[in-house]
Amino acid sequence: MKINIRPGDTLWYYSRIFMIPLPLIIDSNPGLDFSNLKAGQEIQIPGFMSQSYTVKRGDSFWRLATARNISLDALLLLNQTINPSSLQIGQTIFLPARVISPSRRRDVKYDSALLMSDIQALKNQFPFIQVRTIGRSVEGKPIQEIKLGKGTKKVHLNGSFHANEWITTPILMALLNTFLLSLTNSQSIRGIVTMPLYQSVDLSIVPMVNPDGVDLVLNGPPPGLREELIAMNKGSTDFSGWKANIRGVDLNNQFPANWEIEKERKEPKSPAPRDYPGDAPLTEPEANVMAALAGSSQFDRLLAFHTQGKEFYWGYEGLEPPESKVLAAEFERVSGYKAIQFIDSHAGYKDWFIQDFRKPGFTIELGYGVNPLPLSQFNEIYEEVLGIFLASLYI
């Protein structure tokens, strides 16, 4: 919500009348000189939306503020050009409305267009988050990173490496929305106060690594590639089981962590709906983007969300640090998912991350069943993984 500064106002005062932590207001207004605020400057108040309201008989600013449990001065601040003592029936004014629940459902088919819209909606409501395009897919679709927090502990989460595991994206966005609401409403999550986490953690989320693949699964092939993709899909027009990117390369078999072993033993020797690791490591733009992100960001821990199995993998070739075992035990405790240290698999993102950075990396297999998991599992998966999400931040 945008407001204009009045003479003598301070950000601390806005924090008090809107009951929003001051650091969130500061972080929502990058580039503002807080030591030299000027009357008329526009600033953003996170966690609020401005709603138009038509004045009715008997309305006054005091009655409207009291009925909605908002500060009278917050109402005056949003209507600086209106004389509060001479309201007219039918007149339009604006009310500050606190955001207390998610603005949209996420247990729906969730393609890249819906993700882009959702990210913008969250950015409007919670302008202290940072959003940037870190690269583009084969088809030129943006791969976006969401960042928030002011701490030194760097935590990264990602989803939808595999196209038919797209449910991981709305799960991640739901977890993020819960965290943002807890910050602006000063409410704990499962007894955990979240503002200290915001102050101690630098959180990075890439909710959809493989937008082309997700859109293929949910919307079918783009016109220019229809025949080629149907041929690659063995003549079928049912793309619900497609895991790869739009070029038929499995993005989670693309990383230089014993890639040669996977190349040798994987059955597809050419582009396919699943399991083909490519002609070499990091040939695909989506994999390159994720490798570059890890290299530049130097994350302290990494969680890659996949489906299915209600288990997670936390080791690689004995290269994982002792901290990984501690985190794995807590993840297992709070989720009920089974912790598995080693599996006979290579060339994955978490494998490469552990190998190259010697930091904790996890592949989290959400839910149970046949991919793509049905949306009927959404709420259950969300509740199971919420504990892992929180533990990744507070431990």
**Average pLDDT of adjacent 10-residue blocks, the chain of 395 residues:** 96 97 97 90 97 97 94 96 95 97 93 98 98 98 98 98 98 98 98 98 98 98 96 98 98 98 96 98 98 98 98 98 98 98 97 98 97 97 98 97
Give SS3 for 301.
Answer: strand
Judge whether 2-98 and 112-213+280-394 match in fold.
no
Look at residue 245 in the predicted model and tell me its pLDDT. 98
- Give 45's contacts (C-beta < 8 A, 6+ positions apart): 1, 2, 3, 14, 18, 20, 25, 28, 96
320 is catalytic: no
Q: Which fold has domain 112-213+280-394?
A: Aminopeptidase (3.40.630)
> For residue 306, what is the enclosing H or E element?
strand 301-307
Contact 348, 334 (CB under 8 A): no
d(CA 275, CA 278): 9
Question: What superfamily does domain 2-98 belong to in CATH?
Answer: LysM domain (3.10.350.10)
- Dist. CA 178–CA 150, nearest whole Å: 18
Q: Which residue among the candidates 365, 380, 383, 384 is catalytic per the annotation?
A: 365
pLDDT (0 to 100) of residue 274: 98
Question: Would you kindly state where each structural domain of the chain is located, as residue ranges?
Answer: 2-98, 112-213+280-394
pLDDT of residue 103: 83
pTM of the shown model: 0.96
